[in-house]
Amino acid sequence: MERTQGGHMIECMKTGPDGTTKIPAPVPGCWISVVKPDQSERQWLQETLGIVPEFVRSAFDEEESSHTDFDDDTKQALVIVDCPCVEDDQESDDPSTVQYETQPLSLLFIPEKDVIVTVSLRRNETIEAFLSGRVRNINTNLKTRFLLRILLHVSQRYLQCLRNIDRQFNANEKILRETLRDEQLIKMLGFQKSLVYFSTSLKADEATLTRIKNRQIIRLYDDDKDLLDDVFIEIRQAIEMTSIYTNILEGTMDTFGTIINNNVSQSMRILTVVTLVLSVPTIVFSFYGMNTEDKLPFAADWIPPMIITAALCVVAIVLLRRKRLI
């Protein structure tokens, strides 16, 4: 079963003797991937798979935060995690302009159908990696382990994005040191926004992972403990890296802000000094421009006033230098 009309897609994967392969229709023990669903897919999830409407509404909400939920009547479980993604779901041709945000990824456990369903409202790197086989040795029959593998990949994806942000930041900082252009400052704000998204989402994902560890909704097996610990390590490392990069970025932005203010102050100081020096000849020659030539010294010759004016300008410059204004 696969639908690709209008960019929407439903795919079914099943692990068997020959590995994990695509199958035409849902069967017990399979994984159902739903990407960019529309209202027809929403109706199919409720009517064909029997997913409770509350879970479907949560899965279709772009603003849904990371959390877990459980339905006592059907024993269905919902896990929503925040995944990193490129802003506006568009890869930029210029790697230096890539900025990130987060999107929800919903995982639904349907025990009566013995299937696990993932719902992504947009293109998702983790889902694509699992569907394409880049993530090996997955087993759709082991649903808890499958969930933890997805969470591990999501946390690793965060680390990749954070390293990319760090590379972009270092390159942009070098340009800023030379030019201090507005374009680079706007990029810095974009990095800061990405880190804010990551910080909020990672903390929510850690809380969700803690609830899973406490076995509130999903049964954990002894073989899954090591994998769960690996996920915790990756998530906490991503949280720590986000905090470090945020502090570095804020310190850098404050430093460049101070530099810009100092440059403006220096420019204003220079302009003030030039204005003061130029005011001396203006004052001197304004006297000679009046109808009082016979009362002013050297009114018949312009050379002495020029010498006096130059001398006064030199005196003004010397006094300003002693005051360290220039």
In the block, which residue shows the tokens 């279709």?
A: 60
What residues have CB less than 8 Å from 162, skipping those under 6 apart?
198, 238, 241, 242, 245
What digits encode the pLDDT tens for the residues 243-269?
Answer: 999 999 888 888 777 777 777 777 787
Local structure of residue 299 (DSSP, 8 states): T
Angle 99-237-35 (CA atoms, 0-180°, nearest 5)?
Answer: 50
Q: Tens of pLDDT along 58-72?
A: 999 999 999 999 998
Cα 292 to Cα 312: distance, rounded to the nearest angstrom: 22
| Range among 99-103, 180-184, 254-258 with highest mean pLDDT value | 99-103
pTM: predicted TM-score of the whole model, two decimal places? 0.79
What band does 7 get if pLDDT is binned at 50, 70 and 90? Answer: very low
- DSSP state, 146? H
Confidence band for 89, pLDDT divided at 50, 70 and 90: very low
Q: Over the chain, what is the mean pLDDT?
A: 84
Q: What is the pLDDT of residue 288?
A: 65
- Which range is least confidently modeled, 37-41, 163-167, 213-217? 213-217
pLDDT tens-digit profile of 194-211? Answer: 999 999 999 999 999 999
Is residue 109 a contact partner of residue 76, using CB atoms and an 8 Å limit? yes
pLDDT at 173 over 50: yes
